[in-house]
Amino acid sequence: MAYAYLQCQLPSPLSFLLSALFLLLLPFSSSADAGFSEGINCLHPEILKDEAVARLVELGKVSDAEGYLERVFQSPASVRAGNLIRTWMEDAGLKTWVDRMGNVHGRSEGLNPSEKALLIGSHLDTVVDAGIFDGALGIITALSALKVLNINGMLEKLKRPVEVIAFSDEEGVRFQSTFLGSAAVAGVLPVSVLHVHDKSGVTVQGALRKNSIEISEENLLEVKYDPETVWGYIEVHMEQGPVLETLGLPLGVVKGIAGQTRLKVTVKGQQGHAGTVPMKMRRDPMAAAAELMVVLENLCKQPEDYLAYDGQCLESTVQSLSGSLVCTVGEIWTWPSASNVIPGQVSFTVDIRAMDDLGREAIIYELSRKIHQVCGERSVVCLVERKHDAKAAACDPELSLKLKSAAAAAGGRWGVIDDNGKEESRAVDEVAAAVPVPVLMSGAGHDAMAMSKLTKVAMLFVRCRGGVSHSPEEHVSEDDVWAAGLAVLAFLENTTLSPHLSNNYE
Ligand code: HGY
Ligand code: MN
Ligand code: MN
């Protein structure tokens, strides 16, 4: 099918020619930095760029903390953020509601409500001292694209329902169990999670009830979607890595998402006076924890030094881990946490990721073995708790190709305006070939992992500065926000608008 673009609603042939002439002067290079020029109203910069960026900044100010961004599951700021996102959903012409896990939904039924729906989503929660793009970018670009369709009267002509979901908890910061929202929609959230408590003793159920959301083991299943009613799920997310920036490209698609395990390691020793207990008589959990963190780092830097069976290195496992195995200690607590007291107890988190699930299990087994060996040598007691597991998830190749073509179309929009300034339409794969859209792996977890248990999933990555994320330094350029919105728009046009409509799309 010849890829038809959103026809420009240009005021007159003259201004079209002027615009085309302006475009031809663009230093367009197929590779890379083809930025999107200002002022071409058929690409809706006022909605897909200016308004989208303004909303990212506005949402980025909705925080539970003074001076930095923090928005954890069902916190006051999360509720405010959900309400703000609902107004943007309504502004895009969607009907909205909040489900029993605090997910915020915006949906348009289109022409055929009984057709399988396209779901588009990401998360509204953040880490602590977060950036403004992680999660929010996927929600806002989807709503901007749907707004463009709505203002052009296309929303009610969609051939399938389209629904945006702002998930309530992807990061798992408050309850150490990620994907609370998306796992509930996918029907894979264990009811036991409702009774997990946070550091202040509040349970997941209590946090929802505090916000007047009545949740119980019985009605949790009401959140689950029937796979028969879902066509697929796509997610737009900043890359949170350096690849796209290194390649000089704005957009990429994701092949697979690394599996992850979160552990909590607790070391109990002998609390005592910092000034009177001789070093050789100490059973110091802090020193033990420090040694364990270095063991963890070495294990993940050189797994070949550790993974062996009967003296033989497990070559294939080490090979399958290479390139994706990462381990992190992000949190540490100590009791009683006084400078002149040898701690009685130290706990710390361990985050282990790899594309290969079996290899990750081998690492966890080896780490547990080393933990108990070190604790035995130091005469301290160790407890290893497994707090969260998510298997590696593969994206659907066919859905990813559709997303890749849409991304190419967005990135190569200029490419099909020929020398006479006439817009010609080309086959999707021809356009796709025009603009490289690389295929990447994701070390970061995403709601798409949970949603892959419900339906086929695909992810669009957006270039970010220095690959930095989970930091206020996080940054996605305005043009790349625009490119992401255009890609979603092209994807919607391609998968949910009938061809004759997109051909004559005004
Ligand atoms: O931790 C992650 O990978 C994601 O940002 N929650
Ligand atoms: Mn994140
Ligand atoms: Mn994220």
Task: Evaluate whether 449 touches 186 at the Cβ level (below 8 Å).
Answer: no
| Ligand 1 pocket residue status of 131, Cβ below 6 Å | no
| pLDDT at residue 312, as a whole number | 74
Residue 278 lies in a domain: yes
| Cα-to-centroid distance, 65 and ligand 3 (Å) | 19
Do 343 and 303 lie in one domain? The reply is yes
What's the domain range around 308? 260-390
What residues sit around ligand 3, an ion, with C-beta below 5 angstroms? 134-135
Please name the residues in contact with 95: beta carbons below 8 A apart, sequence gap of 6 or more.
Answer: 106, 107, 108
Residue 137 lies in a domain: yes
Do 146 and 184 lie in one domain? The reply is yes
Mean pLDDT of 251-270: 96
**Does the pLDDT at position 491 exceed 90?**
yes
Do 8 and 78 lie in one domain? The reply is no
> In 226-314, at which residue ranges do the beta strands (DSSP E only) sit?
230-238, 251-257, 259-268, 272-273, 308-309, 312-313
| pLDDT at residue 33, as a whole number | 32
| Cα-to-centroid distance, 408 and ligand 1 (Å) | 27
| Ligand 1 pocket residue status of 447, Cβ below 6 Å | no
List alpha helices for 250-311, DSSP H.
Answer: 285-301
Band (pLDDT 50/70/90 cuts) for residue 43 is: confident
Residue 189 DSSP label: -
**Does the pLDDT at position 18 exceed 50?**
no
Do 112 and 210 lie in one domain? The reply is yes
- What count of other Cβ atoms lies within 10 Å of the Cβ of residue 313? 14
Residue where a domain terminates, one of 356, 390, 424 = 390
Do 380 and 246 lie in one domain? The reply is no
| Ligand 1 pocket residue status of 445, Cβ below 6 Å | yes
Query: Pocket of ligand 1, candidates 126, 447, 470, 471: which has the most ligand atoms within 8 Å of its Cβ, to mutate?
Result: 470
Task: Evaluate whether 85 touches 139 at the Cβ level (below 8 Å).
Answer: yes
Residue where a domain terminates, one of 390, 419, 447 = 390
| Cα-to-centroid distance, 487 and ligand 2 (Å) | 22
pLDDT above 70 covers a percentage of the chain that reads: 85
The predicted-structure confidence for 314-353, as pLDDT tens digits, reads as follows: 777 787 787 789 999 999 999 999 999 999 999 999 999 9
The predicted-structure confidence for 47-99, as pLDDT tens digits, reads as follows: 999 999 999 999 999 999 999 999 999 999 999 999 999 999 999 999 999 99
Using the atom order of ligand 1, give the atom closest to the CA of residue 178: 6
Band (pLDDT 50/70/90 cuts) for residue 172 is: very high
| pLDDT at residue 25, as a whole number | 33
- Check residues 20 and 394 and name the one with the higher pLDDT: 394
| Ligand 1 pocket residue status of 171, Cβ below 6 Å | yes
| Ligand 1 pocket residue status of 194, Cβ below 6 Å | no
Do 243 and 333 lie in one domain? The reply is no
**Does the pLDDT at position 480 exceed 50?**
yes
Do 143 and 246 lie in one domain? The reply is yes
| pLDDT at residue 433, as a whole number | 56
Do 330 and 403 lie in one domain? The reply is no
| pLDDT at residue 58, as a whole number | 98
Task: Evaluate whether 73 touches 175 at the Cβ level (below 8 Å).
Answer: yes
Residue 457 DSSP label: E
| Cα-to-centroid distance, 176 and ligand 3 (Å) | 15
Residue 49 DSSP label: I
| pLDDT at residue 319, as a whole number | 78
Do 385 and 402 lie in one domain? The reply is no
The predicted-structure confidence for 346-371, as pLDDT tens digits, reads as follows: 999 999 999 999 999 999 999 999 99
**Does the pLDDT at position 410 exceed 70?**
yes
The predicted-structure confidence for 204-224, as pLDDT tens digits, reads as follows: 999 999 999 999 999 999 999
Do 335 and 409 lie in one domain? The reply is no
| pLDDT at residue 8, as a whole number | 40
Residue 75's domain is classified under what CATH number?
A: 3.40.630.10
Do 219 and 79 lie in one domain? The reply is yes
| pLDDT at residue 2, as a whole number | 30
Provide the domain count of the chain: 3
Do 355 and 366 lie in one domain? The reply is yes
Query: Pocket of ligand 1, candidates 73, 170, 353, 468: which has the most ligand atoms within 8 Å of its Cβ, to mutate?
Result: 170
Residue at 468: amino acid letter: V
Of 327, 330, 315, the C-alpha closest to 363 is: 327
- Cα–Cα distance measured from residue 375 to residue 269, given in angstroms and rounded to the nearest whole number: 10
Of 338, 477, 490, 476, the C-alpha closest to 408 is: 490
Nearest CA to ligand 1 atom 4: 445
Residue 366's domain is classified under what CATH number?
A: 3.30.70.360
Residue 506 lies in a domain: no
Mean pLDDT of 19-28: 35
Mean pLDDT of 473-483: 95
